[in-house]
Structures are given as C-alpha cells and as structure tokens.
Structure 1
Amino acid sequence: MQWDGTAAVVAFSHGVAALAFGLLALALLWRGRRQGPHARAMAAAALATALWAVCTSVAMSVWPDADPLWAVAPEALRTAGWLALLLRLAGAGRRALAGAMLLPVATLAVAAHGDASPLLLAALPLASSVLAMLLVEHLYRNAPQNTRWGIKYACLAMGALFAYDFYLYSDAMLLRRVHPDIWAARGIINALSAPLLAMAIARGPSWTPSLQLSRQIMFHSAALLGAAIYLMAMAVSAWYLRYVGGAWGALMQLACLCGAALLLIIVLFSGAMRARLKLFIGKHFYQGRYDYREEWQRVTRALADDTGGLSERAIQSVAGLVESPAGMLWLQRDDNIYLPVARWNWPLPQAEEREAGPLCRLLAGRGWVIDLPEWRQHPQRYDGLPAPMWAAGLWLIVPLMLERSLFGFICLAPPRTALQLNWEVRDVLKIAGSQAASYLAHRASAESLSVARQFESFNRMSTFIVHDLKNLVSQISLLLVNAEKHQANPAFQADMLETLAHSLAKMKHLLLKLRRDDAPDAATPLRLDEVLMRAIQVHAGSEPRPSLELRAAGLTVLANGPRLERVIGHMIQNAIDATPRDGRVAVRMLVRDGAAVIELTDTGHGMSEQFMREQLFQPFVSTKAAGMGIGVFESREYLREVGGHLHVTSAPSQGTTFRVTLPLHKEFQHGQEQVTGR
C-alpha cells in the first residue's frame, strides 16, 4: 500500500491529537475516583489513542519515508481500547469482549505478513469501525431517557472517531491506496473528539452497566461476525494457495473461495446450526433463555395470521419456542375423546385418547408439560402409568388449558439441538399453549355459531315452505270439491281425481314431517337384514348395482325403520355417485365385538385425509352441485342417537369404506328389553 502526502502535515495533525488525548487521560486518571468506575477505562482508551498519535507523528517527523506498518500496532491498540470501553459500557461479558478483540488481533496478524493484500489491510480496520459505530448507536438508543443528557457528548465523540475511520478505509478499499489528505487530517479530527469527551465526563454521566444487547442483535451480529471471520480466513487461505501454487494458483484460489462461500451459505441456512447459535447466546450472555416480549409477539402474530390453517400455525408457534422441527395437534371431539386433527412434518397416528385415560388425566389434573423420555425412564414420577404407544419418537406433550380444563394438547418432536427442559422452558410452553387454546376455542365457537345460524336460516325457510304448502293443500281440497260437483267427462274426471288425491296425500305427509310440534320418530326392534335388502332394492336399477353380503343373519337393532333405511340409502347413493359404472359397490353385514357392523365399500375416487377431517361431516358443505350438505351429518347424528357410530376410511383413487356400528337389541323372557353395546 502506497502512503504519500506531506509528512509535516501528518506529524503536526497527529501531534495535536497526542496532546489532546494525553491531557484527557491525565485528567481522567487524576479525577478517576470521583468520576466512577468507567473513568479509568476511558483513560486507558485515551492513553492508547495518545500513544498511537505520538508514534505516527514521530515516524513522520523523523522518517518521512518510513514503512507504514510502523503505525499498525499502535492503531490496533487504540481500536482495542475503544472497543473494550464500549463493550464495558454496554454491560457485555468477557466472552463478547474476547470476540471483539479478534478484529484488532487479526489486523496485526495480517500486517505482520510482509506481502499482505492492500484490500485486506483496509477491510479489517473498516470492520472494526463498523462494529464500534453499532455499539455507540446501541449504547445511546438503549440508555434511559433521563441519562441521555449525560452521555450524548461521549457518544458523539466516539462515533466521530470511528465514523472518520470508516470514511478513510472505505475510500482506501475503493482506490486500493490511502488518500493522503484524508490521512493527514485524521489526527485533527480525532483531536476534536477529546473536548467532547471531557464535557461528557464533566457532566458526571450515570452509565448503565446493565445495558445488554438484545437477543436478535446478538444473534444476527454473531452470525455476521462469524461469517466475516470465516470468509477472511478462507480469503487468506486462497491467497496463500495462489501464492505457492504457481500456474495452478489462480484455479486453486477461485475453487477455494467459491467452495468456502457455498459451505458458509449451507451452514447459515441450517436450522440446526441456527438453533445451536441461539442456545449458545441465550445460555452464555443472558440470565434468562427467552426474550419474553419478542417471543410473545411472535406467538401472537403466528396465531393471528390468516394465512394457512390455524391448527398448523398453533403447532409451529409452540414448536418454535424449543426449536422443534415437527409436531401434531390433538383436540377434544364428541363423546369426550381426543383425536389428532392436524400435523406439521409428522404423520398422524390412528389412535385416540379418552378423557378418563391416563394421559388426559395427567395433563388435566397437573397441567404438566410431559417429557416423554423421562416418562419412559422414570414411570414412578407419573404415578406408574404407561406412556402412550403412539407417542414413540416424540419428545414433549404440551397441554392446551382453557379455563382450567383440557381443551387439547400439542405433541412435539425432539429439537434440532440438545435443550435443557428447565422450569423456564416449561412455563413458556404452558403460557403459549393457553394462548393457542384460546385461539382454537374461538375458532370452534365461531364455526358452531355459523352452523347454528345456518340451521336457523334453514328453519325459517321450512316455516315458509309449511305456510305455502298449507295454502296449496287448501286450494287443492277446494278443487276436488268443485270437480266432484262438475263431472263433464267421467273418465278424465276420475283420472284427475286420482292424481290430485295422490299429490294431496304426499303434501299432507310432508306437512306433518315439517311441523315443529311433530313428535320424534319412535324406535322399534328392526331386523337389520330386512332393512338392508329394502335399501338395496331401491337402488337395483343403478349402475354400478350394489351387492349385499349377509355374513350374519337375524340381527336385531332398536331404531326407527324409515330413518335408518334413509341413512343407509343415503350412503349407498353417495357410493354409487362416486363410483364409475364399471366399478363396484358392496354392502356387508357382520357381527364384531357384540355389535352389528355394516360395511359399505366402493371403488370410487376416494377422499383425502384433509377433506374427511375438515369437510366431510360439516353441515351445509357439499361437493354436489344440487346437494344441501346435510346427508352425512344427519346420518352420523342419528346413528349416535341410537347408540351407534360411523367410521370412514378412504384415500384418493383407492375408494372409500363407511363402517356403521349399531348395538344389538335383545329381549328378556319376561318381556323386559335390553340394548347391548350402548
């Protein structure tokens, strides 16, 4: 690097800086005890600056053509002094101080190499000046409002020192040489900062040693600093390869740099590496693991976001607190059963948990965040209860408590990096679980209200239909009376009377079914095979034609005949509609575990897991153009009324199986009746 310019100007400028900072250091040392614990640290930085200015001034006065490396060591000492002062004022620990000292040390190491690159010689001091300006800005911005009056001149002075260094070395990197005028004025610019520091000390500022860098700044700064150090090391290695490689040097240099950059990008985008860095920073630089304000805002934003499904967002928001890459959500459904309803990077098991089961009793009674590996190793801590079989490979179970009751729970996979599960982590997970439960409960309430409103609209529509049908019945009755009085054509009149009578009977039946005060259908013992044969006979002309297989005969259930036949007929019709003409629709009846089972299987286009979970049993949701969307919903509700249940298995392009389970009906010899399996 070529250094040119007037030696006398440089010597005078830096001589003024040496005098200014020397006087400042003496004043600080003289009054150090009255100025607080940070006065001595500032005095040491001022002495280092004075030493650097003296060395530069003497070198330019005695040896105008001296090697510029003469001033590198004092300048690195000056930079280290101010960085140490800023980090101490910011309350950083010894680890952060040692990390900041790497830049001045790297500057000395590069300068000690006789053939150092001019670009690298300017880049290292430039990086030091950027770090110093960031620390100055952080110190002032995070200081309490009532203390800024005392520290603002000190922040301006230290900011001016390194802002001018930034200007000097950024210009040097562009031009590959230090501008002589900028270099000559450096001493005077530094000297102007000394009175500002003296004014700040005279005001007796109340420094705040408890100030700390936020976790986000620490994380990004550490990642950026690590990347910079890595790239600098790779650049030096590439330069060395080119230096000793001869004709192959250029190829080896480019390959080394490109490979190093690619490897760095892979590491920076690695979730495991980012998790380890966050854990390291939280463990070694802060008393608490979490920045609660930041985490609470993140969880709330994730749950309130309207993109994607709320269930998946709830899993991700809780998993993000412990760097878990996967999980699933269980919610309470009807009959006090908890079922897996959503997943994130984890398959849903074919399992269920009852409210009276060991897992739900532990979660609801104690409100624990369950550590599954600990449960398996020390079951006595969990009342000796066995861990659920479906939880193999999982790590945590976080309860979703809502008003002291268990609304559901979230299961999380092991984290990307080892994490100690202490009281702080458990408390944060429980709070986030309660927040997620409130959002999920609000969504469920909104969906229930929407369904209720749709039913209310449907009931109003039925009322209007009843009113219109009643008027129509009256008109037709009057028409029949008039027709009987005026029989002009006996044959035609008889045909008309027969048609009208049939229509009248149908409308009267519909009117009775739609009346609000109509009594519920009575349940009677039914031969299930006869009900199935009648339902199959209705669809005998359909394509494909459904088949019936009776693996058990004489099964009797307690239900309303027309309603049960309508439920089975609706499922058969849906299977026919979903199956091509060359497909197959089969109905089987059998006995299993003391209950009657009806299996209806088709080879149609099938349904996805998400559709069955979110839309199949939702009322007023239909994939048919003319459908009302209440058939499957009504079928399931009626089967529950008679003590049965409906289960569906399906897959796209693989067909669907509806499985209806009904309790068998038995009669005692003395006329008493009993329903089993309910």
Structure 2
Amino acid sequence: MTSIATFSYSLAAVGFLLLGALWLTSWRGRRHGGALSAACLLTASWAGLVSYQASRGVQLSVLADAVEILRNAAWSYVLVVLLGQHRDPASRLPFRLPRPVLAAAAVYGLFLLATVCSWWELPFLVQLDLMPAMMARLGWSVFGMLLVEQVYRNKPVQERWAIKFACLGIGGMFAYDFYMYSDALLFKSVHPDIWAARGVANALTVPLIGISMARSASWNTELAVSRRVMFHSAALFGSAIYLLAMGSAGYYLRFFGGSWGTLMQVTFLFAAVMLLAGILFSGTFRSWLKVFISKHFYTYNYDYREEWLRFTRTLSEQGPGLGERAIQAIAELVESPGGALWIRRESGVFEAAARWHVPRQDADVHADSPFCIYLESTHWVVDLHELARDPDKYEGLVIPDWLAQHARAWLVVPMMMHGALFGFVVLQQARSPVSLNWEVIDLLKIAGTQAASYLAQEDAANALMVARQFESFNRMSTFVVHDLKNLVSQLSLMGANAEKHRNNPEFQRDMLDTVNHSVQKMKLMLQKLGRSANAERPVPLAVEEVVRQAVALKGGLEPQPVLQVRAPGLTVLADRERLERVLGHLVQNAIEATPRDGSVTIELSKSGPQAQVAIRDTGAGMTEDFVRERLFKPFESTKAAGMGIGAFESREYIQELGGRLEVSSTPGFGTTFNVILPLHGMHVQEAAPAAVRQEDCFDSK
C-alpha cells in the first residue's frame, strides 16, 4: 500500500508541476495566470510532500496538512476569480455570490477555525477523534463543488466551451475529497485504498484543466476589487497586525514588569489603542494609504467611476457656496487640504471668489497680466515646486509676487471655458507625496473645465434672475407709460374738439369729467408703482358699470361710442382698474381707426355662462395676416406714437381671467373685438339643475 500511495501522489505531483511550468513559460500573460499557476504549484507541492512521507511509511505531518489547506484555498480562489463576471447591477460589489454559496462558506469558516486550532494529523487506518476537523474538510469539499456549479451556470452559453473542462477537473478533485471524507466520517477512519487512489484521481484532472487553460484566451473576466474595498481591507489588516504586536508587547511587559507589570500593560495597551485611533483618523495617513494602494496595486491612479461620482456629488450637493465646493472637489483629487478660487469678472480682473480651508485672499490678477495670458494660452497645470526647481520647463511664465510668497501654494489649476480662461484654483501642498504624471494632470484639467461650467451656469442663473427682475419692472413701467400715452392722446383729442364745442354745456361737462378721471388715473398709477403685484386682487364686478365707465371716458371723442346693454346684471371676477383699462383701450382704438362720420358701438350681452362685450367699428379694418402675425405682437404698432403693447396686454389679462379675446375684421368694412369673460358663480348655478335632472332620471327608473 505504501508503494502504491507513493506512485499515486508522485504522478499527481509531476502532472501539476508540468501544468504550473506551462503557465510560467508558454502561457505566461494569459488571463488568471497568477491564480492558476499558484494553485498548480501548491497542488504539486502537496502531492510531492505526501508521496515522500508515504514512501518512508510515516504519518502525515502538520506541514502536509497545512499545504493541503493552501491547495484547497488556491483552487477555491481560482473559482471565485472565474465567478467574478457575474455582477449584480443593484450592488456595489464587484461580483455576487449566491446565498447557498455564502451559507456554505459561513459553515466552512466555523469548521476551519476548529481545524486551525487543532491540527489534524492523518495516519494510515487510524481512528479519527477530531470530528470538527473532519467535518471542516468535508464542508470545504461541498463549498468547492458549489463554486464549480455557480461558475459554470453563470457563464454565458458561448463561453462554457472554454470553461467546462476546468470545471470538470477542479470539481472532480473536490468531489473525490467529498467521497473520501464522507466515507471516513461514516466509518470513523480513512479507507487506505481510497486514500491511496486520491493521487491518481488528482492526476487525471490535469489534462482537463490543461485543455481549459489552452482556451483561456476567451476567459474574459477577472475579479475586480474596488479601491474602497482595498483601502478598508488594508487598514483593517494593518490594524490587526498592529494590535497583535502591541498585545504581545503588553504581555511581555506584564511578564517581566514584576509588581508594576499590570499597570505597565494596561497603560501601554491604552496608549497603543489611542495611537491607532489617531493614525486611522489622520487625514495625512489616509491620503498616504490611498496613494500607496493606487501606486502599487493598480495600473491607473484613480477609479474614475468613483472619482467622477464623488466630484459631481460635491459640486451638486447643498451646503456652502458653489465656489468652495468646486475647490474641494478639485483638491480631493490630489489629496490637497485646501485652496482658493479666482474668477474673471466683467471688468477683466480675476477676483478671489472663494476659499476652502485657507486664509482670505485679497489679491486680484488682471486678465492682461503675463500669468493669466500664460494659463490661457497653454492650459497647463502649474507645479510651483517644479517651477522653483526648474524654471525652464515653464518658459515665459511670470508668477505674481503674492503667489510666489505663498509658502504652501503647490498647484495652479486653470479653469477653461470655451477656450478662454474662466478662472483658476491655487491648491495647497498635498498631505502625502503625489506623483504628477500625465494621468493626474489630465484629470485636473478636465475637473477644472467641469467646475468652470458649473460656476458659469450659476453666474448665468444669477444674471437671469436679475434680468427677470428688471424685466418685471420694465414691463410694469411699459404699461404705465402706455396708460400715460392713452391719457395724453385722450386729452389731446379733447383739446382739438374744445375749440369747436367750447360753448356746448354738455361738452364742457364731459371735458371736466375726463380731466378729473385722468387726474385720478394718474394718481392710481403713481400708487401702483409703489405696490407689489399681489395688490391687484380680482373681486366680483358688475360688468355693466365697468363698461359704462369706460365708454363715458371716451364721450368727448368723435365719433362718440354708443353703448347697448342686452343683458344687465352680469357679474365677473376681475380687477376693476385693469378691466376698465383693457376695455377703454379697445374702445379708444376703435375710435381712432374710425372716421368722424363713422360709428363705434359697444354691446353687452350674455352667451351661456359667459359675458360678452362686443366693440364694433366701421373703420379701415385689418387683414387676416395682420391680425394673425402683428396685432398681438408686443412693441409693434402702426401708430406714429404707439407703444404696441395695448392689444397684447388686453389679450393677456383677458386670458388670465379665464376668458378670450376674439377678433373679426374686414378691410374697408370695420373690425369687431369680442371680449368673452366667464360669469362669476355661474358654474354653481348651472350645476344644480343638472343634478336635479339626474335625480329625476333615477326616480323615473
């Protein structure tokens, strides 16, 4: 049996040694090469050690047991690497392990702890007393088979041809171990024939794994460990080693400290824990660890997905001003603790607009200075330390005196916008040494451009808000000027007719009423300039009174407007002053467009739940194109002194009240404006009969 076992395990050792050598030579550079070559060489070492000990007829040593654990761990890691492509879109983990696999891993971890605590020496045909250790090995076999099943099932169909032989080979090794340890668990001892044949069984898996290795060029996924996981893992691992070392030192202090031993141990351990907490919460240490991990474990210095998400989140979040957030977002890319921002103003001067963890900066830089011209022409990120060491690299750059005297200034990052220098950021020296290679510099340039777009958008939003405030004021002023123009025009027409009708008592009375009304209206306009827009609140109004007042004010003009009330007692919800101004404007336009021998008629009627004011004239009329394209367009007028906003304001206010303004006009025959307004309370009055009729229908049934 000893010679059979020696041959069996020697065969396995030679097979996996050759397979590992192929990876290290012919297949070097293939995907997953490191994990697979390590697993093959560990398996060869384990089989060779077992073969050597079997040839000498001795029990398996702790070393052989440990190498077997490493061999199983290596093949399990290979399977986890191959499983790395199965990503969970809703998870931030680089891969997702199914729940059965996680459960098996948890169970195995518990049993592995028992195995490590009590090494299991496996003799030939000896009773097994350590049940937890035996079950731990059995659990590892189950875990390995679960991993094999998950790897094969989660691979796309077109990729399974390349992975299936590796799954058969690795799964065969775990399946044989499961069979051997299950038999041992059942009969309380390892069967010698099964144990001896284990080496041959492992050797038979070599060709299968070799075929898959030859096809490994199509294995298109690897296990991706994020920088965040690596950072926290490194911090946790380092903390564990530190605490272990400090615990050992504390033990020796207590052992050799005599009567002061306990005091020295407690004091030392407390100081060690406090020192660890200070290191872990130190920004400098964290920066150093991030730079160290990026430099030694990854091809690129940044995880661009994480960095860009953090960058945009910093710029978009609520809190301090956008300028401070822009400095922070750029500074965190190179572990800088602070900086200041300069932005170009309309005066052509770059002013200090924001600062982050630095003193206030009052120095301004003119856009025509050599410093700004250099930044705008080169788009370079300036390393002030490199500039001090080798000025020839920045030929033509002249640093301002205030910047040259700044002790901690490190980088100047230009912020470009449409090819022009929008601003620049001066960053302080990083917490840990950062190598400014092309990758870091390009990232800073892009970050500066992105931050400039955010700042420019904020400036545009602020300018738009100010413009809207001025627009609101100007619009109100325009309407006030328009009303004044109407009053001036009305008084001018009345003055022109005064010479003809000055001896007419009725005309004199109309003239006095018109002058008094004009004075009152100008007083109201002055009051309105000092009130907010919310002062105008619609109230129920009698339409007939408003129309009569608007017509009466035009009584001194020719042709005199004629009012016809077809439906008295109508009420609408509106502001009296604005509605009267709208109707008065339409009436005055009709009078101005009609010759003196013509007629202007105002008719008040009711059309369903709406009040209708029709203003008809027999003037020149308008074409359809003019009505459609120019009548309601603001600031366009056919009058020499017109403002072009009367018809626009009339339609806007009528629509604001829920009504509409309709126009029908025929050139040479006149124009009709129909002001249609919803009656106040009409919807309630008309809803009741409908409800009654519905109840009658129900009763009739």
Using the size of structure 1 for normalisation, the TM-score is 0.51
Cα pair 2:280 2:286 within 8 Å, conserved: yes
Partner of 1:185: 135
Matched, 1:201 2:209: yes
Matched, 1:411 2:399: no
User: How far does residue 317 in structure 1 lie from its aligned partner after superposition?
Assistant: 0.9
User: How far does residue 300 in structure 1 lie from its aligned partner after superposition?
Assistant: 2.0
Cα pair 1:18 1:50 within 8 Å, conserved: no
How many Å separate the matches in 1 of 2:458 and 2:6? 70
How many Å separate the matches in 1 of 2:432 and 2:461? 39
Partner of 1:399: 414
Q: For 2:421, what is the secondary structure of its paired residue?
A: strand
Give the letter for the 2:253 counterpart: L
| Compared CA separation, residues 265 and 358, structure 1 to 2 (3 A) | same
Any stretches of 5+ residues in structure 2 without a counterpart? 89-94, 121-127, 145-169, 174-204, 493-497, 504-515, 531-701
How many Å separate the matches in 2 of 1:269 and 1:363? 37
| Compared CA separation, residues 389 and 52, structure 1 to 2 (3 A) | same
Give the letter for the 2:84 counterpart: R
Partner of 1:324: 336
User: How far does residue 203 in structure 1 lie from its aligned partner after superposition?
Assistant: 5.9
Matched, 1:44 2:41: yes
User: How far does residue 337 in structure 1 lie from its aligned partner after superposition?
Assistant: 1.0
How many Å separate the matches in 1 of 2:485 and 2:221? 86
How many Å separate the matches in 1 of 2:220 and 2:250? 44
Which of 242, 263, 276 is the equivalent residue of 2:275? 263
| Compared CA separation, residues 27 and 278, structure 1 to 2 (3 A) | same
Cα pair 1:29 1:40 within 8 Å, conserved: no
Give the letter for the 2:130 counterpart: P
Partner of 1:167: 110
How many Å separate the matches in 2 of 1:511 and 1:161? 80
Deviations 1:374-425 (A, max 9, x none): 3345445444553112221211110110111111111100111122322222
**How do residues 529-568 of structure 1 correspond to structure 2 at under 5 angstroms?**
none
Give the letter for the 1:168 counterpart: F
Matched, 1:430 2:445: yes
User: How far does residue 29 in structure 1 lie from its aligned partner after superposition?
Assistant: 4.0
Matched, 1:243 2:186: no
**How do residues 569-608 of structure 1 correspond to structure 2 at under 5 angstroms?**
none
Matched, 1:447 2:462: yes
User: How far does residue 272 in structure 1 lie from its aligned partner after superposition?
Assistant: 1.0
How many Å separate the matches in 2 of 1:17 and 1:357? 86
Cα pair 1:26 1:43 within 8 Å, conserved: no
| Compared CA separation, residues 17 and 237, structure 1 to 2 (3 A) | farther
Deviations 1:480-538 (A, max 9, x none): x9xxx9xxxxxxxxxxxxx999999999999999xxxxxxxxxxxxxxxxxxxxxxxxx
Partner of 1:637: none
How many Å separate the matches in 2 of 1:301 and 1:473? 59
How many Å separate the matches in 1 of 2:104 and 2:12? 15
User: How far does residue 41 in structure 1 lie from its aligned partner after superposition?
Assistant: 3.4
Partner of 1:460: 475
Which of 6, 16, 21 is the equivalent residue of 1:28? 16
Matched, 1:363 2:375: yes
Cα pair 2:382 2:413 within 8 Å, conserved: yes
User: How far does residue 162 in structure 1 lie from its aligned partner after superposition?
Assistant: 7.3
Matched, 1:336 2:348: yes
User: How far does residue 186 in structure 1 lie from its aligned partner after superposition?
Assistant: 3.5
How many Å separate the matches in 2 of 1:420 and 1:335? 37
**How do residues 60-71 of structure 1 correspond to structure 2 at under 5 angstroms?**
none
| Compared CA separation, residues 45 and 500, structure 1 to 2 (3 A) | same
**How do residues 98-137 of structure 1 correspond to structure 2 at under 5 angstroms?**
137=80
Cα pair 1:25 1:47 within 8 Å, conserved: yes
Partner of 2:306: 294
Q: For 1:290, what is the secondary structure of its paired residue?
A: coil
User: How far does residue 356 in structure 1 lie from its aligned partner after superposition?
Assistant: 0.5
Q: For 2:288, what is the secondary structure of its paired residue?
A: helix
The worse-fitting range, judged by mean Cα deviation, of 274-283 and 432-441 is 274-283
How many Å separate the matches in 1 of 2:72 and 2:297? 21
The worse-fitting range, judged by mean Cα deviation, of 189-198 and 407-416 is 189-198
How many Å separate the matches in 2 of 1:17 and 1:302? 65
How many Å separate the matches in 1 of 2:260 and 2:468? 78
Deviations 1:136-158 (A, max 9, x none): 6455315899xxxxxx9xx9999
User: How far does residue 321 in structure 1 lie from its aligned partner after superposition?
Assistant: 1.1
Cα pair 1:242 1:250 within 8 Å, conserved: yes
The worse-fitting range, judged by mean Cα deviation, of 286-295 and 261-270 is 286-295
Partner of 1:659: none
Cα pair 1:399 1:433 within 8 Å, conserved: yes
Give the letter for the 1:140 counterpart: L
How many Å separate the matches in 2 of 1:259 and 1:17? 56
User: How far does residue 367 in structure 1 lie from its aligned partner after superposition?
Assistant: 0.6
Cα pair 1:400 1:406 within 8 Å, conserved: yes
Cα pair 2:335 2:430 within 8 Å, conserved: yes
How many Å separate the matches in 1 of 2:320 and 2:81? 37
Partner of 1:671: none
How many Å separate the matches in 2 of 1:444 and 1:270? 37
Partner of 1:578: none
| Compared CA separation, residues 62 and 164, structure 1 to 2 (3 A) | farther
Q: For 2:422, what is the secondary structure of its paired residue?
A: strand
Give the letter for the 1:412 counterpart: L
How many Å separate the matches in 1 of 2:14 and 2:86? 28
Partner of 1:93: none
How many Å separate the matches in 1 of 2:211 and 2:87? 16
| Compared CA separation, residues 27 and 50, structure 1 to 2 (3 A) | closer
| Compared CA separation, residues 381 and 210, structure 1 to 2 (3 A) | same
| Compared CA separation, residues 331 and 419, structure 1 to 2 (3 A) | same
Q: CA RMSD in A?
A: 5.3
Cα pair 2:340 2:355 within 8 Å, conserved: yes
How many Å separate the matches in 2 of 1:290 and 1:411? 22
Cα pair 1:333 1:339 within 8 Å, conserved: yes
How many Å separate the matches in 1 of 2:47 and 2:100? 15
- Fraction of identical pairs, as percent: 40
Partner of 1:303: 315
